[in-house]
Amino acid sequence: MKQVFIDSSVLFAAAYSDKGYARDLIIIGIREQAHLVISSLVMEETRRNLADFAPETLPALERIYELVGFEVVNPSKQAVLEAAKLVALKDAPILAAAKSAKVDILATLDKRHLLDRPELESFIAARILRPKEAYKWIVG
């Protein structure tokens, strides 16, 4: 079974809309077609961003947390510092958590800092994909 780290941009999109590939990734996690991984930071950041931007979607986020049964991985400070050599400090905990979890895919919508960066894929030994690409790679 593929292991997928879901970053806060994907989790936000999945809670915000009941359509789209971000939501589809959550559904395959519920159906146990993939093992979904997040960190405590992802949970907190998503909750905070939804509370600021779309508080009416917080119940959907809480429902996702109940249904998916995410594995929660929190990287060590040293792992974050190592990742910070390659990305901005705010993104280092995401990269470090994905590496620590030994996932197959890091799913993100972060075009600016994470996507299309082969050196980051090498660092975490996993693909970094948009939700659409990740979904298609998992389900074939």
pLDDT of residue 72: 98
H-only helix segments in 54-91: 58-68, 77-83
- Domains recognised in the chain with CATH numbers: 2-139 (3.40.50.1010)
Token readout for 90 is: 């705010």
Which 8-state DSSP code applies to residue 65? H
Which 8-state DSSP code applies to residue 107? E
Which 8-state DSSP code applies to residue 27? H
The mean pLDDT values, 10 residues at a time, for the chain of 140 residues are 97 97 97 97 97 97 96 97 96 97 98 95 98 95
- The alpha carbon of 45 is separated from its chain's Cα centroid by a whole number of angstroms, namely 11
pLDDT of residue 85: 97
Q: CB neighbours of 3 closer than 8 A, spacing ≥ 6?
A: 34, 35, 36, 37, 101, 102, 103, 104, 105
- Model confidence, pTM: 0.96
* Strand 127-129 versus strand 105-107 pairing type: parallel
